[in-house]
Each structure stands twice: as structure tokens, then as C-alpha cells.
């Protein structure tokens, strides 16, 4: 029996001292649990993704010194720790630490360079899978992307005799990814008749959330242990590596494949036998934390992303402009879950166009959540702007400019409060709005973090209903859920004066933004061609706004930000 | 004699129709000049860099259809045209077009994926250099990055017998790059005893400027033709390929190297003989446009970047908040050069802290340039904010918050004018300020494009003096050049209340931002350690502001934007 622990830790990019201390604390915990082998996530030492910190030689050097400190603390157990290795180039690496030393180093072979990933920008790819021997067991190590390729290192390692493959990952979340990742891991384990231990990062880092959910899969593809989702955890299990031998005898595919393996294709590391244990260990029954339902999963991902962004950047409190509408209501609920009710302030900023219902909806929400609530009327300042601009605007008609001025006054108020009291502003725009630019730059787009930036409007409603169901009461007022969405920047305005109905808008946006479909293909899905053209143009025209938007949590396969890199200057027209 | 033309065109990313029309017009011009072979820049059909447009299958398809239209127009001459090729993957490609057909296709072998480049995100690398035969001459084609590697395709092509190598490029500008590029090209030509024709893109695209300066280098490394810098051009020359044969006989290195060449390593394309010319051509004497001096080079790069960003995004006019200071003065001069005096409006927005000297400096500058000038006092609106915020701010001391409010009122005014009249706002912050965050988010950072974002303060002064020298008069008032820099957001403020003297600041910033030096290394350069720590902290702390800043022209080897990708959430400390 091999006792393994997967340390699903929440690191902070760049905080080498903090990350090392966290790793050392988990080594201590594991040692007390008589663990033989413990794994930490990909790049656990520098945090993931370190981006251009990797271009600083002093940072890479400090990360190697940090690894050495960890190595010295590996008495009594073996650890797999992600860090940046360096010779005349740098590598995304995992070290096998044993008896105070670096016993072996694996370099990631498959470097993702798509979507949010830029690993080819930094790393040289490794060329040789690693297998180490520990107490008679052969164990392979690989890193994140490596496991997604059927012909990748896992296959080589299994053919070279590994009974267990440990994959250390920093796998960014999007809705439903955990389940598809588990399906892949199960297939990989069963195909190669190998035990798989998948140790994932957890936590938020700028636009990304890592969802944890580390798992162990047996050689038939059954999940036998699962760590918490969206939280730190230490997953411990006893593994029967002998079962792998027995199962392999029955699989004729392996013999065929083994004939293709070149002996020199793998580096072997033999570790000294582990210390003799004087008293037998009590077997552990590994936990299998269930998956949350789809809405809870997304909600918790956003809450983790918001909480970590705020805290890891040195803030405690946030502030949200409450309009009485559903976007700011949902954002406030998430903030309370992420940071606690004492750390959220709602600010209602009525103008001449704000309805009394909006004020009631906003204050009801604040009451239901129990958060601080401020009201700052903007009309006298709005009038000062109108007076100040009367001369340059002489002879023009009021319109969207005057609407934007109101939004920007509100942005200024929130930023003034933020600067004065050190509270971070959370913006409240959803993905549908961000897609078509239905937002005021420097107005409602002003703030530090955009909680629901990647949440389409239909999902905003679904998550809002989820909150009320979960709490068993109307935290978000029914009127907020029922009324027609409006920016209230002119009399009797609704979003649908400017935009197609949200179900149509969201359908076109999904096809265009997330699936890269052409106008023809979108029309073929049944959407009105003229509407599709208008939506596509709005998306293309708003790239400049999105480029100046605050970051937000990625929850879809294609978020705005570093996941979608379109030029601002762009003459392509889908017609 | 082979008559070659390098068509240094200014394409627009995504504008396939416009780019095709530009290419067709240059084919016509070249045909009238009896040109045998014409080359266009890298990715001339889709524009460079197309970024995530490349993920849209419909865009790639449309680009291939566009190439076919160009191919059909190649009667009477051969053309090398950059486009995106596709099979089950996509390639950064150059097609050899001849007699209405695609006669050969080369796939770029070296894909840059550092600095501003993300080509591994999109393209598969090519594996086989191409040599085509035209009228008895052997000619190699390769693409941009390919030429920067001494053992790259150029060597293979020369060893395979090419007397001329045509490199089609989109080489982004930074100060001094043109000269170092020419030195590299000269070395490459002489090392391989081959004529080099380097056809570069010209124009601005978001953060990038392509400087043109296409050249032809003979087989001894002498530049025999140079196109305009920062402007479209058609560079025509008659090349004596026989001279290459003669020169090669004298170079013993080639025989040694040729023995290493594998025959299958190159794809050969044989073109039909060109049409017989009935009347002899008058020889052309190629132009050799001289390099501008260092200050003129940077100034013209910025002007091209600004002009193209504004025009290619559908704007004609810009607006600049003039403070009486040097940054806004230089920005206004650049805007006038880029867009014309009728397309620039200066706006002076005095508060209670603005001096009468500032007003005079701003209006003198506007007069000297001949631009429209508006004055919009902000004090009554500022007072409205102070009144509105009196209650939430009760018991606090006035400070940086009240300074930011003034800057944001000014940002709001410019954006209101922008929204009302369709003029783009140019922001005026320099690189020193952007580095340390000495700017107000949504205030003076509000706008569409940041002209001098990559210009350190010392270079701001040098470029300002350059303008006055070039014009032979004080366009920028002497008082603006002489006075201590100030934001005028509180009484008697100067920048040096908050920042180290600019020469010290700029020195530390250069070492930290552009050279990735550590604190220890910066101290070893002779800078005060405590000052260096403070500057480094300011840089690290302001990443969130830069992420919401408008784009600006890259003129240094490391600009902010996609050239420097640091995490916002970043726990690394250089101490």
C-alpha cells in the first residue's frame, strides 16, 4: 500500500515566501498522517501563471532557492513540487524531493499556447518522461497539459512500468470543465491500466479561477477519491498498486504497445527505501466530495475569483453601485459570500431618472443581505455638468452623451469613496452588455474587478434565482427579478430600446463570441439576419471599451480578456 | 537583369477588400514599370497581426478567396504575397503568384512567440524552404523571423543555389531597430553570398508601428536601395544576379557548407519563362532614402502610429486636454503632424489650482500650432462634487481623492465632447508616469489613444526641443520647457513632491521595466537603494491602472501593453 496525499493549495503568484510556508505546513500535516508521497500543484512555488515574472532572472533564481528550502524539509516522505527549472533556458518543472534533496526533475513536454495560455512564450519543452521508484512501486510524474494527449508522457510512463501516474495541474475553470476533465482522466487511466492521481490548483488569479477537485482514479477508470471544489484540501488515500499488475495481465493492448517503447525514452530515478514504520498505519477511507449542481458550481467559482482577487491584492472591503437592477443585486450577493457581510457596502446614486421602485429594490436588497447602504443623489452634480457643457453643446440635442455623464458621475463617486476609504469597487456589468458595449467607459465600467463580466444575462437570472432558493427567502427582491432591465439614464428607458431581447442576443453572442461562427452560420441557426448583423457590429465596435475594462472571472470556454485577443483596429466585416 | 519591386504598403488588419485593392493597384503600377517580380509584406492580405481573427474559419476562408483574386491579376509579372494558408491547420504563408495562378507556397518556419508576438498561438510552423526559378534565376522566399536565424532558411536557400532571397516582413518598430536590422541583413547577405530583398510593412496597428525602410542588399552586404521610412513606397531596382555567381567562386565557405545540404530539404518551383520584352527597358537607378536622425525617427513613428490609429478606426479629429505642460504640448504637436491642423482641438480646463501661466502656455501653444482652442472651467462642477461628497467624507482630510476628482471631471468633459462630436480623445501621459502610476485612472488616463505612453520624460523634452528646432520657432512655449513639471491639482504642487527627479526615475525605470534588472543590480548601477525600492513598488502597484489604460505607440524594446504581461495579483517583492 502506498499512502498518497494531494495538497490542493491556494498559492499566490509571485509570493514565494508565502507559497513555501504553505507547502511546508502541508508537508508537516502529511507527515503526521504517515503519508509516503505528497504532490503539490503545477508551479506551486512561483504560483500560476507567473506570466512575465518569468522574464526576470532574479525571480527564477529566487524560485530555485525556494525549492531548495522545501527539499530540505522532506524528511520521512517524498514530495512532488512544481517550480521553474533553469539551465540555459527555463522549464515548467516538477521536482521529486526526497530525504532533503532534489532526487529528480521532470520538464513539462506539452506547453499550452492557446486560449488563456502563453507557455511557449516562456518555457522550453521537456523531452523525457520521468519514472521514479519508491518502495517497490514505479511512479510517473507529468504536468497538466501533458495528460490531455493520449500519446503523451502518461502512455510512455505506463509502458515503462509505472503503476501510478501523478499529474500536477493548474487547470483553469470554466462551467462544466470538472466533469469533462474527470471523464478524460478516467479514460486515460483505463486505457493505460494505470492509477492516476490528479492534483489541481485551487484559487483565483486575476481572470482565472482554478477549481481544485483533485481526484484519484483507479486503473479501471473509477474515481476513488475527490477533493473539495473551490477550496483548499488535502486528499489522502491508500493505493493498491498490486491491483495494477493483475489488471494488466488481462489487457492485450499493452503488450502490443510496449514493443514500441524505446528504453532510452524514459529517465528513471531510484529512491532509497522509505523508513521502516514501527507501527502499522490505520487505513484511510478517502473522501469523495460530490460535484455541486451546475448553478452552484458557477456561483462558487465567481465567489472564489472575487474573494481571491480582492484579498490577494491587499483589500478587505468592496463597494458596489446598487441600481435596483439584477446585475448589481447578484454582484452584491456574490461579494457577501466571498468577503463577508461586514465587508460590502452598497451605494445607491439616484438621478432625476431613477424611479422610487429602484430605490426600494436597492435598499430591500441591502437590508436582506445586511450590508451597509449609502444613498448619494447625483442630480446637483449632473446639473453642474449640464451648465458647464451648455456653451460647447449649444445647438445640439441631448442624447446618449447626457446618459454617459450620469454614469460617469456615479463612477467618479465610487472611485472617490474607493480612494478615500480603501474599498475596491466591483463593477456590475454582465457578459451580454460587455459583448455589445452596452456600458459606459469610465462610468459603470469603472472599478477594480468585474464579478459577472463573463456571465450572460440569462445566467444572471438563473444565478439570482439560485441565491433565493438556496437562502429560502427573497434576498433579491421579486420586483428586481420581474421588471424589465433598464439603465434608467433617460425617462422610461429599457435595455430593449437598444438591444434585441436577451434570449436572442445571448444566442447570437454565444455563436459569435464563443464559437467563432460566421454570419451565415448564425443565420442558419435560425436567427434573423439583420439582427445578427447588428449584434456582430456592436461586438466588433466595442473592442476598444473591453480593452479598458477591469478584469473579471472567466467562467465560459471563451471569456473576454486574455482569452480573446482581437485587434481594436479591425476592418473585417462579416457581411 | 531581374527587375524587382518591393511594395511597402500600409494595410489594415481585417480589411480584406481594401488590402486586395491596394495590392492590385501596386501590381498595375509595377507592370507599367516593366517589373519582373514584386513582393508585398508579410500577411499583406489579412493585415498584420490579425490576432484572434485567425480563429474564425470564415476569416481564413475569405483571405484565401482574396489571394485567388490577386493571383488572377498576375499577368505579365510574378508576385510574392503574404497570406494565411490552410490545410488541416493554418500557416503564416507567402504565395508565389504567376500567370494567374498560385505557383508555390512557402510556410514560415520560425514563429516568434515573445515580446508582442503570439504566432505559436495561431500557426503551425513550416518545414521546407522554397526556391523558385524565374528567367534563369533562382530565388528564395522566406518570412520575417526566418531571416533572423543564421542557420535558418536563408542559408538553405543560398546553398540550394538561390542568388536572391526575398524576405517579406512585418517588423515592428522600436527606436534604432531599423539600423540594427540593416546590419543583420547585410551580414546575412554577405555570409551567404546572396542578394537580399527585404520588403517590410509600413503603418500603425494598435500598439505597433511598422517602419517600412524596405531595403535591397547586395551579395557583399552593401545596401543598394532603401524605401521611405514611415510611409508607403514602391522600391524598384535592377539586380545583377550574375554577380552572385562570380562572387561565390571566391568564397571557400560555401563549398564546405554545401556538402551538408540534403537535396530533399528544399521545394523547387519552376516558373514558365517570362514574356519576351519587345523593347529594351531603361535601367532604373534605385533610390536610397537616408535614415532620419534619432529624434526625427521616434517622432515620425509616433505620428504614424497616432494617425493610423485614429483614421483606421474611422475618426478624423482628435481632442487633447492642454494643461500648459510639456506632455500635452508634445502630444498636440504630434497630432497636428499626424492629422492636420484642422483636425485637432485643444481644451483647457482650469480649476482653482490652475495658474495663469498655465493658461497662457496652453493658449500660446494652440496659437502657435493654429489649432482650435476651448476653455471649460471646472470649478463649479468640482464644488458640486465636494458638496455631494461632504456627508460621506465628513471627518476626513482632503488629499489625493480631491485631486483625482478634478482629473476625472476633466476626463468626463473630454469624453462628453468626444461622444457628442465624434472626436477621439488623445491622452497625454508619458512612460515615466505610466510606469509609476502617476496618473488618475478614468481621469487624465481617459481616452482612445495614448500618443506618448512609451516615451520617457527625458525623451519628451528631447522631442519637444526637436519640434521647436525643426520649425525654427517656439511652437512649444519656452516657459513650458523651462518650468518644473506639475499636475496642478493642489496649491504649489510639482511632480517632484511625489517622484524622484526624472533623470533618476527614468534611469531606474529603464533598468527595471526594460531590462528586467533586480533591485541588487539597480543598486549596483549606482542608484540609491531606498529610492530604487520605492520606484519598483510604485511600478508593481500600478499594474491595475495600466491594464485599464488606452493603447499607445510602442517605441522602446519593451512597451506596456502586450509587450509586458505581468499579473495584477503579484506577491513578488524585489527586497
Given this model, what pLDDT does residue A166 score? 98
Residues of chain A with C-beta less than 8 angstroms from the C-beta of B519: 58
3-state secondary structure of B370: coil
Given this model, what pLDDT does residue A263 score? 66
> Starting from the edge strand earliest in sequence, which strands make up the sheet with A164-169, in order?
A223-226, A215-217, A195-200, A164-169, A137-143, A130-134, A267-270
CA-based nearest residue to B43, from B116, B95, B2, B79 = B95
Task: Kindly give the confidence (pLDDT) of every residue in chain A, 575 residues in length, as a single tens digit, with 9 standing for 90 and above.
Answer: 899 999 999 999 999 999 999 999 999 999 999 999 999 999 999 999 999 999 999 999 999 999 999 999 999 999 999 999 999 999 999 999 999 999 999 999 999 999 999 999 999 999 999 999 998 899 999 999 999 999 999 999 999 999 999 999 999 999 999 999 999 999 999 999 999 999 999 999 999 999 999 999 999 999 999 999 999 999 999 999 988 988 888 887 877 787 777 766 899 999 998 777 778 899 999 999 999 999 999 999 999 999 999 999 999 999 999 999 999 999 999 999 999 999 999 999 999 999 999 999 999 999 999 999 999 999 999 999 999 999 999 999 999 999 999 999 999 999 999 999 999 999 999 999 999 999 999 999 999 999 999 999 999 999 999 999 999 999 999 999 999 999 888 888 899 888 999 999 999 999 999 999 999 999 999 999 999 999 999 999 999 999 999 999 999 999 999 999 999 999 999 87
CA-based nearest residue to B468, from B329, B318, B358, B344 = B329
B253 or A55: whose pLDDT is higher? A55
Residues of chain B with C-beta less than 8 angstroms from the C-beta of A415: 404, 408, 441-442
Given this model, what pLDDT does residue B84 score? 98
Distance between CA atoms of residues B371 and B332, nearest Å: 9
Q: Do A409 and B412 touch (CB under 8 A)?
A: yes
The 10s digit of each residue's pLDDT in B69-123 is 999 999 999 999 999 999 999 999 999 999 999 999 999 999 999 999 999 999 9
How far apart are the two ends of chain A, measured CA to CA in Å? 64
Annotated catalytic, B119?
no
Given this model, what pLDDT does residue A115 score? 97
What residues form DSSP beta bridges with B250? none
Residues of chain A with C-beta less than 8 angstroms from the C-beta of B389: 376, 413, 416
Question: Which residue among A206, A381, A565 places its CB closest to the CB of B384?
Answer: A381
- Would residue B558 be called left, alpha or beta, if left means φ above 0 and alpha means ψ between -120 and 50 degrees? beta
Residues of chain B with C-beta less than 8 angstroms from the C-beta of A309: 569
Given this model, what pLDDT does residue A262 score? 72
pLDDT band (50, 70, 90) for residue B337:
very high
CA-based nearest residue to B107, from A488, B98, B115, B122 = B122
Cell matching residue B175: 527606436
In B, residues 67-96, which contact A (CB 8 Å cutoff)? Answer: none
Distance of CA B445 to CAs B342, B376, B437, B494, Å? Answer: 24, 19, 10, 19
Question: Which residue among A47, A121, A551 places its CB closest to the CB of B113?
Answer: A121
Chain mean position to CA B390: 47
Query: For an interface test with B, which of A387, A567, A574, A575 has the most B Cβ atoms less than 10 Å from its Cβ?
Result: A567
Q: Report the pLDDT averaged over residues B43-52.
A: 98
Nearest CA in chain B to A402: B416
Given this model, what pLDDT does residue B552 score? 98
The single residue of A22, A108, A138, A431 carrying the catalytic annotation is A108
Quick count: other Cβ atoms within 10 Å of Cβ A148? 17
3-state secondary structure of B194: coil
The single residue of A144, A145, A457, A488 carrying the catalytic annotation is A144
Residues of chain A with C-beta less than 8 angstroms from the C-beta of B441: 415, 446
Lowest mean pLDDT among A135-144, B241-250, B391-400: B241-250
Quick count: other Cβ atoms within 10 Å of Cβ A139? 31
Q: Tell me whether A43 touches chain B (CB under 8 Å).
A: no
How far apart are the two ends of chain B, measured CA to CA in Å? 64
Query: For an interface test with B, which of A571, A573, A574, A575 has the most B Cβ atoms less than 10 Å from its Cβ?
Result: A571
Annotated catalytic, A144?
yes
What residues form DSSP beta bridges with B83? B93
Residues in chain B: 575
Q: Report the pLDDT averaged over residues B450-476.
A: 98
What residues form DSSP beta bridges with A139? A132, A164
A vs B, Cβ pairs < 8 A, gives 234
The 10s digit of each residue's pLDDT in B112-160 is 999 999 999 999 999 999 999 998 899 999 999 999 999 999 999 999 9
Given this model, what pLDDT does residue A277 score? 78
Helix A379-389 crosses helix A400-421 at what angle (to 10 degrees)?
120
pLDDT band (50, 70, 90) for residue B19:
very high
Q: Do A58 and B120 touch (CB under 8 A)?
A: no
Using an 8 Å Cβ cutoff, are B173 and B210 in contact?
Answer: yes
Annotated catalytic, B144?
yes
Please classify residue B261 by burial: count the beta carbons closer than 10 Å to its beta carbon, then call 0-12 exposed, 13-18 middle and 19+ buried: middle
Q: Tell me whether A50 touches chain B (CB under 8 Å).
A: yes
Torsion angle in degrees (nearest 10) through CA of A503, A506, A510, A516: 120
Q: Tell me whether A441 touches chain B (CB under 8 Å).
A: yes
Question: Which residue among A58, A312, A571 places its CB closest to the CB of B569?
Answer: A312
Q: Report the pLDDT averaged over residues B292-305.
A: 98
The single residue of B144, B145, B199, B554 carrying the catalytic annotation is B144
Nearest CA in chain A to B517: A56
Cell matching residue B498: 511625489
Cell matching residue A181: 476533465
Q: Report the pLDDT averaged over residues B38-62.
A: 98
Given this model, what pLDDT does residue B263 score? 66
Given this model, what pLDDT does residue B506 score? 97
In A, residues 453-512, which contact B (CB 8 Å cutoff)? Answer: none
Arithmetic mean of pLDDT over chain B: 96
Q: Tell me whether B516 touches chain A (CB under 8 Å).
A: yes
Helices (H), A193-251: 242-249
Given this model, what pLDDT does residue B518 score? 97
Amino acid at each position: 500500500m502506498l499512502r498518497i496525499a494531494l495538497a490542493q493549495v491556494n498559492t499566490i503568484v509571485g509570493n514565494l515566501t508565502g507559497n513555501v510556508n504553505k507547502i511546508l505546513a502541508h508537508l508537516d500535516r502529511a507527515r503526521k498522517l504517515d503519508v509516503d508521497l505528497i504532490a503539490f500543484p503545477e508551479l506551486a512555488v512561483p504560483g500560476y501563471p507567473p506570466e512575465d515574472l518569468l522574464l526576470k532572472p532574479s525571480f527564477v533564481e529566487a524560485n530555485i532557492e525556494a525549492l531548495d528550502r522545501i527539499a530540505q524539509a522532506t524528511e520521512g516522505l517524498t514530495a512532488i513540487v512544481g517550480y521553474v527549472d533553469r539551465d540555459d533556458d527555463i522549464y515548467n518543472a516538477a521536482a521529486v524531493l526526497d530525504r532533503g534533496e532534489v532526487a529528480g526533475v521532470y520538464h513539462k513536454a506539452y506547453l499550452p499556447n492557446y486560449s488563456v495560455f502563453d507557455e511557449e512564450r516562456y518555457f522550453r519543452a521537456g523531452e523525457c518522461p520521468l519514472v521514479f521508484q519508491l518502495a517497490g512501486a514505479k511512479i510517473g510524474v507529468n504536468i497538466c497539459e501533458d495528460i490531455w494527449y493520449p500519446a503523451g508522457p502518461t502512455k510512455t510512463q505506463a509502458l515503462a512500468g509505472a503503476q501510478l501516474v501523478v499529474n500536477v495541474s493548474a487547470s483553469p475553470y470554466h462551467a462544466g470543465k470538472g466533469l469533462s476533465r474527470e471523464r478524460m482522466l478516467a479514460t486515460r487511466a483505463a486505457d493505460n491500466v494505470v492509477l492516476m492521481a490528479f492534483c489541481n490548483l485551487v484559487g483565483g488569479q486575476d481572470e482565472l479561477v482554478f477549481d481544485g477537485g483533485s481526484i484519484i482514479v483507479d486503473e479501471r477508470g473509477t474515481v476513488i477519491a475527490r477533493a473539495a471544489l473551490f477550496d483548499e484540501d488535502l486528499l489522502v488515500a491508500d493505493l493498491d498498486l498490486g491491483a495494477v499488475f493483475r489488471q494488466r495481465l488481462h489487457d492485450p493492448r499493452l503488450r502490443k504497445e510496449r514493443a514500441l517503447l524505446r528504453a532510452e525514452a524514459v529517465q528513471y530515478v531510484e529512491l532509497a527505501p522509505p523508513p521502516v514504520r514501527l507501527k502499522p498505519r490505520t487505513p484511510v477511507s478517502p473522501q469523495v466530495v460530490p460535484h455541486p449542481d451546475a448553478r452552484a458550481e458557477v456561483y462558487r467559482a465567481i465567489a472564489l475569483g472575487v474573494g481571491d482577487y480582492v484579498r490577494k491584492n491587499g483589500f478587505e472591503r468592496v463597494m458596489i453601485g446598487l441600481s435596483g437592477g439584477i446585475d448589481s443585486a447578484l454582484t452584491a450577493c456574490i461579494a457577501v459570500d466571498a468577503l463577508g457581510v461586514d465587508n460590502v457596502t452598497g451605494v445607491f446614486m439616484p438621478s432625476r431618472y431613477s424611479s422610487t421602485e429602484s430605490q426600494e429594490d436597492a435598499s430591500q436588497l441591502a437590508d436582506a443581505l445586511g450590508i451597509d447602504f449609502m444613498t448619494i443623489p447625483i442630480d446637483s452634480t449632473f446639473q453642474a455638468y449640464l451648465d458647464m457643457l451648455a456653451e460647447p453643446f449649444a445647438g445640439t440635442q441631448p442624447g446618449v452623451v447626457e446618459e454617459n455623464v450620469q454614469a460617469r458621475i456615479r463612477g467618479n463617486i465610487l472611485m472617490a469613496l474607493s480612494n478615500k476609504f480603501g474599498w475596491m469597487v466591483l463593477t456590475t456589468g454582465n457578459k451580454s452588455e460587455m459583448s455589445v458595449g452596452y456600458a459606459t467607459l469610465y462610468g459603470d465600467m469603472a472599478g477594480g474587478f468585474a464579478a459577472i463580466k463573463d456571465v450572460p444575462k440569462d445566467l444572471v437570472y438563473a444565478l439570482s434565482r439560485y441565491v433565493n432558493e438556496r437562502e429560502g427567502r427573497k434576498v433579491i427582491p421579486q420586483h428586481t427579478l420581474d421588471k424589465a432591465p433598464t439603465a434608467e439614464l433617460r425617462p422610461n428607458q429599457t435595455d430593449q430600446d437598444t438591444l434585441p431581447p436577451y434570449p436572442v442576443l445571448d444566442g447570437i453572442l454565444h455563436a459569435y463570441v464563443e464559437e467563432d461562427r460566421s454570419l451565415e452560420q448564425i443565420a442558419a441557426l435560425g436567427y434573423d439576419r439583420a439582427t445578427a448583423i447588428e449584434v456582430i457590429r456592436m461586438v466588433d465596435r466595442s473592442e476598444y471599451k473591453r480593452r479598458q475594462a477591469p478584469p473579471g472571472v472567466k467562467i465560459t470556454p471563451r471569456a473576454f480578456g486574455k482569452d480573446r485577443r482581437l485587434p481594436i483596429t479591425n476592418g473585417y466585416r462579416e457581411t
